[in-house]
């Protein structure tokens, strides 16, 4: 079944090697925020998850400690291939970026006062902001038809963005409320 225009999930679960390659691709081309790339790979390109499954998984992974995409890679790997899939996914995601960050750190340490380097980092920050906005738009689409989910998401956004409440306590309050609303409003 299609979800908000996204293709259905593929019939054959990915192998550990396919998980490694999929997340390796994200790790290689992902600069700044890779969440949009992870969503595209998992939902649109490889069709390992539906759009709704991705949003649900992202919600869980945001609640857990650690980076969202790292948590997603582990969860997707576990879903399809258990601990071997989780290990393959996280290694694929982190191998190249780890080496790249070490090399860039050494270079940046040496040239950080160069105005050209400062301009490059300003441009990268703008690109990362654009990716984040595009991802937010894609994430909100599946919940636009779910008033309770939209209400909870709006409450969370308002509490954190405008009231400046800490994320974890706010989520600890809103998560049970969200579960209760979903349970009470289920068809």
Q: What was the pLDDT predicted at 32?
A: 64
Examine the pLDDT at 2 and tell me if it is beyond 50.
no
Higher pLDDT, 141 or 164: 164
Q: Which residue reads 């969440």 in tokens?
A: 35
Examine the pLDDT at 35 and tell me if it is beyond 60.
yes
Examine the pLDDT at 141 and tell me if it is beyond 60.
yes
Go through the chain and tell me how many residues it has: 187
Q: How many beta carbons lie within 10 A of that of residue 54, not counting itself?
A: 24
Q: What was the pLDDT predicted at 10?
A: 62
pLDDT band at 11 (very low <50, low <70, confident <90, very high): low
d(CA 24, CA 34): 12
pTM (two decimals): 0.58
Which residue(s) pair with 6 in the sheet?
A: 3
Provide the H-helix boundaries in the chain: 16-29, 35-39, 51-63, 68-111, 115-140, 147-157, 167-184
pLDDT band at 1 (very low <50, low <70, confident <90, very high): very low
**Non-local CB neighbours of 25 within 8 Å, separated by 6+ positions:** 41, 92
| Rounded mean pLDDT, 127-153 | 85
142-151 tens-digit pLDDT: 888 888 888 9
Q: What was the pLDDT predicted at 31?
A: 67
| Rounded mean pLDDT, 85-114 | 89
150-187 tens-digit pLDDT: 899 899 999 999 999 998 899 899 989 988 988 888 87
Are the CB atoms for 31 and 64 separated by under 8 Å? no
Q: For the chain, what is the mean pLDDT?
A: 87
């Amino acid at each position: 079944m299609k979800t908000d225009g996204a293709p259905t999930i593929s019939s054959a679960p990915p192998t550990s090697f396919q998980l490694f390659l999929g997340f390796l691709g994200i790790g290689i081309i992902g600069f700044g925020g890779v969440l949009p790339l992870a969503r595209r790979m998992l939902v649109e390109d490889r069709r390992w998850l539906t759009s709704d499954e991705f949003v649900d998984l992202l919600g869980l992974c945001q609640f857990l400690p650690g980076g969202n995409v790292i948590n997603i890679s582990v969860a997707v790997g576990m879903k399809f291939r258990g601990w071997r899939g989780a290990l393959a996914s996280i290694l694929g995601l982190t191998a190249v970026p780890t080496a790249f960050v070490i090399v860039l750190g050494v270079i940046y340490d040496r040239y950080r006062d160069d105005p050209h380097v400062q301009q490059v980092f300003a441009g990268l920050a703008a690109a990362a902001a654009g990716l984040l906005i595009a991802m937010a738009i894609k994430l909100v689409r599946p919940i636009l038809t779910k008033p309770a989910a939209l209400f909870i998401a709006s409450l969370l956004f308002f509490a954190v963005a405008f009231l400046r409440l800490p994320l974890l306590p706010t989520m600890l309050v809103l998560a049970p409320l969200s579960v209760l609303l979903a349970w009470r409003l289920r068809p």
